[in-house]
Amino acid sequence: MAARKATRKAAKKKASGSARKGAARKASKSPRVAVLMGSKNDWESMRAAVDVLEGMGVGCDVRVISAHRTPDRHHAFVTSAEARGIQAFICGAGFAAHLAGVTAALTPLPVLGVPLDSSALDGMDALLATVQMPGGIPVATFGIGKAGAKNAGLFAAAMIAGSDPKVRKALDAFRKKQTADVPERPF
Ligand code: RP5
């Protein structure tokens, strides 16, 4: 229990350091994907989505927005996003994660949900909360944590690639490099 608390505390410390680093990152000029997270402590996982998208030339609008801690900020941001050129949302949250679901309720744009392992249940709570949307308001749900965030970024890039040949080229190059980087042997 004490060890678990210490690990979480260390992760939070690391995350707040990265959040400061994140603030120094330049905001994308014409963001096409909004990447929302419930807490600045989620950045360490969610940056995987942003790194993938920005690496492919897809600008991101990255925000700490919580459906329960900052409901007004959430509503204002989501309902004005389409007019600002946003084509999709990636939402990462832990615990009883409702960020993706509430975002999807507020916009017809595609919402990609990333459950995060920030609670004592290691993300199982967030996974079920994100994936188990009642019929009518879909959330495309990815794996728990960093790998899920990375795949959400890749999926958003694939959606955009359908109408942007440059992104398609970047996606093809990503796959090619990924394949080339796999060694023949493990030693
Ligand atoms: C969720 O609660 C956030 O997405 C975060 O993963 C979790 C804990 O937030 P903090 O208490 O670490 O800010 O809303």
Residue nearest to atom 6 of ligand 1 (CA): 94
Q: Is residue 154 part of a domain?
A: yes
Is the beta carbon of 66 within 6 A of some atom in ligand 1? yes
pLDDT at 3: 46
Report the atom number in ligand 1 closest to the C-alpha of 40. 13
What are the Cα distances from residue 50, in Å, to 71, 80, 132, 179, 180? 23, 21, 25, 21, 23
Q: Is residue 13 part of a domain?
A: no
Q: Is residue 12 part of a domain?
A: no
CATH number at residue 69: 3.40.50.1970
Integer Cα distance of 121 and 94 in angstroms: 10
What type of residue sits at position 47? R
Q: Is residue 83 part of a domain?
A: yes
What's the domain count of the chain?
1
- Domain membership of residue 114 as a residue range: 30-173
Q: For 30-41, what is each residue's pLDDT tens digit?
A: 999 999 999 999
Q: Is residue 185 part of a domain?
A: no
Q: For 119-164, what is each residue's pLDDT tens digit?
A: 999 999 999 999 999 999 999 999 999 999 999 999 999 999 999 9
Q: Is residue 25 part of a domain?
A: no
Q: Is residue 17 part of a domain?
A: no
CB distance 138 to 109 below 8 Å: no
- Could you tell me if residue 123 is left (phi over 0), alpha (psi between -120 and 50 degrees) or otherwise beta? left
Q: Is residue 74 part of a domain?
A: yes
Q: For 69-83, what is each residue's pLDDT tens digit?
A: 999 999 999 999 999
Ligand 1 mean position, distance from CA 184 (Å):
40
pTM summary value: 0.89
Other CB atoms within a 10 A radius of the CB of residue 22 amount to 17
- pLDDT of 15 above 60: no
In 3D, which of 100, 103, 96 has the Cα closest to residue 75? 103
In 3D, which of 174, 185, 181, 149 has the Cα closest to residue 60? 149
